[in-house]
Amino acid sequence: MNEVVKVLTGEHENIKRAIEHTHRLFADILSGNAELNMMLERIDFFRNYADGYHHHKEEEVLFPEMIKRNEMLEYGVIHEMLQNHEDFREMLSELEDAVNDGDAEGAKKKFEVYAEALLEHIAVEDEEVFQIAETIMSEDELLTVLYRFEDCDRELGVDEKKEWEKKIG
C-alpha cells in the first residue's frame, strides 16, 4: 500500500471509530446517561477532521491529480465522491439543527443516515478510488501528493489534527 493510501485509510479508520463512539453516545443520550449537547463536539469532529482534514486533501490534492491523468474520472467516481462530500456537509447541518432543537430521536435518525452514507463512501474510496489512484499515478507523482497532504495538514494545524485523533481514541 502506498503512503498516500495509508494516510487516507488511516484517517478513514479514525472516522469509523468516531462513528462507533457516536452510536454509543446516542445510546447514552437516549437512556438519560448523557446530554444531547455532547453531540456538538462530535459534529465538530466530523466537520473539522473528516471534512476539514480528510475531504480537504481529497478535494484539493488527490482528486484533481487523478483527473489530470484521466479526465473521465471527473464525471464518474470523482464526481460521485465530491457530491457525497457536499451531501455530508448538509447532513451535518441538519443534525446540528436537530441537536440545537433538543430533538434527540430526530438527531439520532439523522446521524444514522449520515453514518451509513459515510461508511458507504469510505468503502468506495478504500476499494475503488484509492486503487485507481495507485494505478494511474507513478511513485513520484504519489510522493508529490503525499508532500502536498503534509502541506494541507500544516495549513490546518498538525497539532489540532492530533488532538482530534486523541479525542476519538
Taking only the tens place, the pLDDT of each residue in 105-118 is 999 999 999 999 99
Instruction: Burial-class residue 161 by CB neighbours within 10 Å (0-12, 13-18, 19+).
Output: buried
Q: Delineate the domains of the chain, giving CATH numbers in brackets.
A: 3-168 (1.20.120.520)
Low-confidence ranges of the chain (pLDDT < 70): none
56-89 pLDDT, tens per residue? Answer: 999 999 999 999 999 999 999 999 999 999 999 9
Cell numbers standing for residue 65: 491529480
Global confidence as pTM: 0.96
The percent helix, strand, coil of the chain (3-state, each to 5) is: 90, 0, 10
C-alpha–C-alpha distance, residues 66 and 132, integer Å: 8
